[in-house]
């Protein structure tokens, strides 16, 4: 009998970036996986910001529903004064160094949240710390989106995007610049825990071509593996551009909706356009 080498069957619906209530999404990990299954997802990674607590529940539901589940996390990083997000896929959430790293980022979030509330209070908005925490199901993971939901509730802007523009971006009263993890450290935690590291939504960082090349070089030097090519904040042109960067820098290409909420997000989980031809998909690295 001819022996056919094991090959992952062709999969058309893969989503490797989304959020649950463990960070700033609105669905529980189980409900998120169920929604993904309903949308036909065959392989899913849950990638909450700086926290792995949703992975157990998500995996159990994925097993029940017959979805291949990948452990993920989205790590907050500061590089040359900019905030970048590095997605880890296939990580071991119990790995000590990764755990300690994420613990320290979450502590920093609590400190930042108090400073954000002070800034909003100086702008005449009181009660935002308690208000934001009321939207955070996971009290260990507080972020700008929780503040945004509170500010919308209080009528300070009509939607989340508007509230970010008015209050939560650089130069606005609720913005506090913050030092997240070092790029090298974040990639190191992901790699040491058995995962692959991916630069999330590279089109969102407003980097010059030279800065992007420097970032990719440093990321690869640190052991980084891939970049997101298809994601909700990328236009088709951006996807083609980052597919080209992936090829030139020999990086794997990832795909992820970055879904947070049915009413707030631009793209539903599992509703992604196809990866452009020619770049190598990151799931090749999953074995």
Quick one: which segment of 55-63, 159-167, 217-225, 227-235 binds ligand AMP (CB under 6 A)? 159-167
Residue 15 binds to Mn ion (criterion: CB under 5 A):
no
Show the site string, 67-96: x = touches Mn ion by CB under 5 A, - = not: -------x----------x-----------
Which residues between 16 and 35 bind ligand AMP (CB under 6 A)?
A: 24
Q: What are phi and psi of 182, to 5 degrees?
A: -75, 145
Residue 179 binds to ligand AMP (criterion: CB under 6 A):
no
Quick one: which segment of 24-32, 61-69, 223-231, 276-284 binds Mn ion (CB under 5 A)? 24-32
Spell out the residues 6+ positions from residue 211 whose beta carbon is closer than 8 angstroms to its own: 80
Burial class (CB in 10 A: 0-12, 13-18, 19+), 9: exposed
Nearest residue to Mn ion, using CB? 85
Q: Please select the residue that binds ligand AMP; options are 260, 270, 281, 282, rule is CB under 6 A.
A: 260
C-alpha separations of 274 from 158, 226, 259 in Å: 33, 17, 16
Q: What one-character-per-residue DSSP string does 77-131 give? A: EEETTEEEEEEEES--TT-HHHHHHHHHHHHHHHHHHHHHHHHHHHTT--SHHHH
Q: What are phi and psi of 135, to 5 degrees?
A: -90, -10
Quick one: which segment of 59-67, 114-122, 156-164, 237-245 binds ligand AMP (CB under 6 A)? 156-164
Would you give the end-to-end CA distance of the chain in angstroms? Answer: 24
Residue 191 binds to ligand AMP (criterion: CB under 6 A):
no
Q: Please select the residue that binds Mn ion; options are 24, 50, 51, 228, rule is CB under 5 A.
A: 24
d(CA 258, CA 238): 16
Quick one: which segment of 91-99, 140-148, 217-225, 230-238 binds ligand AMP (CB under 6 A)? 140-148
Tell the smallest beta-carbon distance from residue 258 to Mn ion (Å): 4
Contact positions vs ligand AMP (CB under 6 A): 24, 49, 76, 143-145, 160-161, 164, 260
């Amino acid at each position: 009998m001819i022996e056919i080498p094991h090959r992952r069957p062709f999969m058309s619906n893969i989503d490797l970036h989304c959020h649950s209530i463990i960070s700033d999404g609105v669905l529980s990990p189980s409900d998120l996986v169920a929604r993904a299954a309903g949308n036909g997802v065959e392989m899913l990674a849950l990638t909450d910001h700086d926290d792995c607590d949703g992975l157990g529940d998500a995996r159990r539901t994925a097993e029940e529903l017959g979805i291949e589940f990948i452990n993920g996390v989205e790590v907050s990083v500061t590089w040359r004064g900019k905030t970048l997000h590095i997605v880890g896929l296939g990580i071991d959430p119990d790995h000590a160094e990764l755990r300690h790293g994420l613990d320290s980022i979450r502590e920093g979030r609590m400190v930042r949240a108090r400073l954000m509330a002070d800034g909003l209070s100086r702008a005449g908005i009181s009660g935002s710390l308690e208000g934001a925490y009321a939207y955070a199901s996971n009290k260990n993971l507080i972020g700008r989106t929780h503040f945004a939901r509170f500010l919308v509730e209080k009528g300070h802007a009509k939607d989340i995007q508007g509230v970010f523009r008015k209050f939560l971006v650089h130069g606005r009263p609720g913005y506090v610049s913050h030092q997240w993890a070092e790029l090298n450290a974040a990639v190191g935690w992901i790699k040491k825990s058995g995962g692959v590291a991916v630069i999330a939504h590279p089109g969102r960082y407003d980097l010059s071509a030279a800065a992007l090349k420097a970032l990719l070089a440093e990321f690869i030097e640190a052991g980084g593996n891939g970049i997101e090519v298809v994601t909700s904040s990328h236009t088709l042109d951006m996807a083609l551009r980052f597919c080209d960067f992936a090829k030139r820098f020999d990086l794997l290409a990832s795909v992820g909706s970055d879904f947070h909420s049915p009413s707030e997000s631009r793209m539903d989980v599992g509703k992604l356009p196809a990866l452009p031809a020619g770049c190598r998909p990151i799931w090749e690295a999953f074995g």
